[in-house]
Chain A
Amino acid sequence: MKKNEILFLQGNEVCARAAMYAGVSFYAGYPITPSTEIAEVLAELMPAEGKAFMQMEDEISSICAIIGASLTGNKVMTATSGPGFSLMQEAIGYGHMAEIPCVIVNVQRGGPSTGMPTSASQADVMQTRWGTHGDHSVIALTASNHEDIFAMTVEAFNFSELYRMPVVLLLDEVIAHMREGLTIPEPGELPIIERLNTSVPEDSDYHPYFAREDGRLPMSEFGGIHRYNVTGLAHDMWGFPSNDPEVANTLIHHLVNKVENYKHDIARYKTTNMDDADIVLISYGCSARSAKQTMSNLRQRGLRVGMIELQTLWPFPDDIIYDLCRDARYVVVAEMNMGQVLHQVKEAVSNPDRVFLANRVDGALINPEDIENVVNLLRGKGK
């Protein structure tokens, strides 16, 4: 590739190329609109680089296969959409419990069920948080343009290695299928976090589930010098099943705290015109593109509108939202669902009665006027 080459790409292609940039060495997936192009691009790129690509029999086997391959020392990814993401939930929980790094891309489409396969939606935010059973914390990232899809894909791999866990990249049909110019970052331009391997020598005891002081758990790949057990049952520091309440208690707290204690490090967001804003728009993904336009339309009319674009959805950056919205007269959350991030924002701010929803759930992209109408209504200027 030429230096700083500018390519005209679809969002899904950007995600696939960013995965290669991050060093993905194993991909397994099952075709589903609107995510399929990620697999198609990787099916071409990966063999050429000697990396493993597999099309599996379903999404359950896809997520299981990537977890297996992660344990034999690979950076791994799968990509899917709503129905496939639902099928993956049990194994995502296994990934959390066994603490296996992996990246799951969910290009959202309308639901529930088969829903609207080719239409835009952002209705999987809560499923991403609570989709699998049991207590644990999650990391989920999103993006609204191609430069950010690239950066957030790389970040998803980095977080999965750093926190030793599954990380979800929540894209949507609009940005995944949209074409935009992108300058592909040069190697080394974006930081890449590699797996932390244990330095415990061969004949000493290695405890796969004994966290260091900073909460990190160095790994040892299957086939390497340390043999140990990995299980989805509650387990001790050896990875052996345990029913001891003390062991279970420590484990569950660890699974939550290893993310929640680093919430600020994981928070990615952008602010625009927030210095004097008394109306704050909060949005993400495709909706953020429209919200941005709403902001500039209203600014031209003299309204003090600012915007927060979220790139980290989970862990939800609640204290950042609290601080940024403290002086807001109104907060409007623009999203393509019935109020999933709205709910989180209401919980985060000091005055939830000032938080309103601008949404669309009909499959058509929310447009700037949809959001503007809500702001006008709030100002008593509604049509």
Chain B
Amino acid sequence: MAVTDYLREQFMPHIWCPGCGHGIVLNSLVRAVEQIGLEKNDVVMVSGIGCSARMAGYLDFHTMHTLHGRALAFATGAKMGNPRLKVIVPMGDGDALAIGGNHFIHAARRNMDLTAIVMNNNIYGMTGGQFSPATPKNRYATTAPYGTIDEPFDVVKVATAAGASFVARSTTYHVNELIKLIREGIEHPGFSVIEILDQCPTYYGRKNLSGSAVDMLKHFKENSVKIGKGTGAPGEIEIGVFVKEVRPEYCDKYESLVKEVQGGKK
């Protein structure tokens, strides 16, 4: 299938600003799905609310654009309701970690086969540039005109601690690696988290004098290091696969439970 076959071109142009990283993520995701050779009818995409969440509408899968922060909760029901389906959940950093933080850790704990893609642009894009739980300290946002004093979450650490069985990080600069990571995440039989550092030139870039989208991509390029190859300098972005472990998957466990109950073993 051609990559464009996965797009709903009738619903374009998309809403994203020129230079926004969300389009790069969409592109990588579609290529990953195409490489795996998934049937469009076997893929469900569930998103929340945010610029990032609009991705679902543009893709020719079964798509559910839900509520801010709740994508993983809707996705959990959709998957449990038909475990045969591949369920992909693109989320913004606010969507996944602030309002949706509770669902994020519990989805990780359950290890249901969902692929969570966290499009981390360090800001609330859709509402116009307020700081998020992933905004680094001393950065500017419309609700942090004097700089943030909040400590940010490290998505990889949160996901790992909560029990995700596949955890990876990359950036919108590393497109080829990104395709590979998303592919690995989708193929992994358990809860996968792929954090993608992503640029919002319109708000984060402007507020923090990060320059144009190209400058922000260059920043990703210059500050990224492969896992274990860094110096631990502040601002360093470790990229690669942090966790990859096959553990019992939730729907499989439920199926076994049903068999045991029905067989009189429980």
Q: Which residues of A contact B (CB under 8 A)?
A: 25-26, 28, 47-48, 50, 52, 54, 56-58, 60-61, 64-74, 76, 90-91, 94, 221-225, 227-233, 240-241
- Specify which of B11, B56, B78, B102 is in contact with A72 (CB 8 Å cutoff): B78
Segment with Cβ contacts to A, from B41-49, B168-176, B181-189:
B41-49
Is B180 an interface residue when CB atoms closer than 8 A count as contact? Answer: no
- Specify which of B60, B76, B257 is in contact with A47 (CB 8 Å cutoff): B257
Indicate whether A65 sits within 8 Å of B44 (C-beta atoms), given known contacts A47-B261, A48-B262, A240-B57: no
Is B63 an interface residue when CB atoms closer than 8 A count as contact? Answer: yes
Within the complex, the shortest CB–CB distance from A258 to chain B, in Å, comes to: 21
Is B228 an interface residue when CB atoms closer than 8 A count as contact? Answer: no
**Cβ < 8 Å to A, chain B residues 219-266:** 254, 257-258, 261-262
Is B16 an interface residue when CB atoms closer than 8 A count as contact? Answer: no
Q: Which 7 A-B pairs have the closest CB atoms?
A: A68-B77, A65-B77, A69-B81, A72-B81, A64-B73, A61-B73, A68-B78
Segment with Cβ contacts to A, from B64-72, B136-144, B196-204:
B64-72
In the complex, are the beta carbons of B77 and A67 less than 8 A apart?
yes
B1-22: contact bitstring with A at CB < 8 Å (1 yes, 0 no)? 0000000100100000000000
In the complex, are the beta carbons of B81 and A68 less than 8 A apart?
yes
B74-112: contact bitstring with A at CB < 8 Å (1 yes, 0 no)? 111111111011000000000000000011001000000
Chain A residue contacts of B76, Cβ below 8 A: 28, 54, 56, 61, 64-65, 68
In the complex, are the beta carbons of B80 and A69 less than 8 A apart?
yes
Within the complex, the shortest CB–CB distance from A353 to chain B, in Å, comes to: 44
CA distance A74 to B76 in the complex (A): 13
CA distance A73 to B42 in the complex (A): 14
In the complex, are the beta carbons of A73 and B74 less than 8 A apart?
no
CA distance A94 to B46 in the complex (A): 14
Give the total of B residues in contact with A, Cβ under 8 Å. Answer: 38
Chosen A-B contacts, 20 in total, with CB atoms closer than 8 Å, are A25-B81, A47-B262, A48-B261, A50-B262, A54-B80, A57-B102, A61-B73, A61-B106, A64-B74, A68-B64, A68-B73, A68-B79, A76-B77, A222-B62, A222-B82, A222-B85, A223-B42, A231-B57, A231-B65, A231-B66
In the complex, are the beta carbons of A66 and B64 less than 8 A apart?
no
Is B207 an interface residue when CB atoms closer than 8 A count as contact? Answer: no
CA distance A58 to B73 in the complex (A): 10
Q: Which residue of B lies closest to A48 (CB)?
A: B261
Is B153 an interface residue when CB atoms closer than 8 A count as contact? Answer: no
**Centre residue among B73, B75, B257 by max chain A CB count within 10 A:** B73
In the complex, are the beta carbons of A57 and B70 less than 8 A apart?
no
In the complex, are the beta carbons of B46 and A68 less than 8 A apart?
yes
Chain A residue contacts of B81, Cβ below 8 A: 25-26, 52, 68-74, 76
CA distance A94 to B73 in the complex (A): 13
Chain A residue contacts of B80, Cβ below 8 A: 26, 52, 54, 65, 69
Within the complex, the shortest CB–CB distance from A209 to chain B, in Å, comes to: 14
In the complex, are the beta carbons of B65 and A60 less than 8 A apart?
no
CA distance A25 to B85 in the complex (A): 17
Within the complex, the shortest CB–CB distance from B226 to chain A, in Å, comes to: 35
In the complex, are the beta carbons of B65 and A229 less than 8 A apart?
yes
Chain A residue contacts of B56, Cβ below 8 A: 229
B156-168: contact bitstring with A at CB < 8 Å (1 yes, 0 no)? 0000000000000
CA distance A28 to B261 in the complex (A): 19
In the complex, are the beta carbons of A227 and B102 less than 8 A apart?
no
**Cβ < 8 Å to A, chain B residues 50-65:** 56-57, 60-65
In the complex, are the beta carbons of B66 and A73 less than 8 A apart?
no
4 more A-B residue pairs beyond the given contacts A26-B80, A222-B62, with a C-beta to C-beta distance below 8 A: A47-B258, A54-B76, A71-B64, A222-B85
- Specify which of B60, B66, B70, B82 is in contact with A227 (CB 8 Å cutoff): B60
In the complex, are the beta carbons of B41 and A225 less than 8 A apart?
yes
In the complex, are the beta carbons of B67 and A223 less than 8 A apart?
no
Chain A residue contacts of B261, Cβ below 8 A: 47-48
CA distance A350 to B243 in the complex (A): 70
Chain B residue contacts of A64, Cβ below 8 A: 66-67, 70, 73-74, 76-77
Within the complex, the shortest CB–CB distance from A55 to chain B, in Å, comes to: 11
Indicate whether A230 sits within 8 Å of B65 (C-beta atoms), given known contacts A54-B80, A65-B74, A69-B80: yes
Chain B residue contacts of A71, Cβ below 8 A: 62, 64, 78, 81
In the complex, are the beta carbons of B103 and A57 less than 8 A apart?
yes
CA distance A58 to B100 in the complex (A): 12
CA distance A281 to B138 in the complex (A): 66
CA distance A70 to B80 in the complex (A): 10
In the complex, are the beta carbons of A223 and B82 less than 8 A apart?
yes
Chain B residue contacts of A52, Cβ below 8 A: 80-81, 254
CA distance A69 to B81 in the complex (A): 5
Chain B residue contacts of A47, Cβ below 8 A: 254, 257-258, 261-262
- Specify which of B64, B65, B79 is in contact with A233 (CB 8 Å cutoff): B65
Within the complex, the shortest CB–CB distance from A49 to chain B, in Å, comes to: 8
Q: Which residue of B lies closest to A91 (CB)?
A: B67
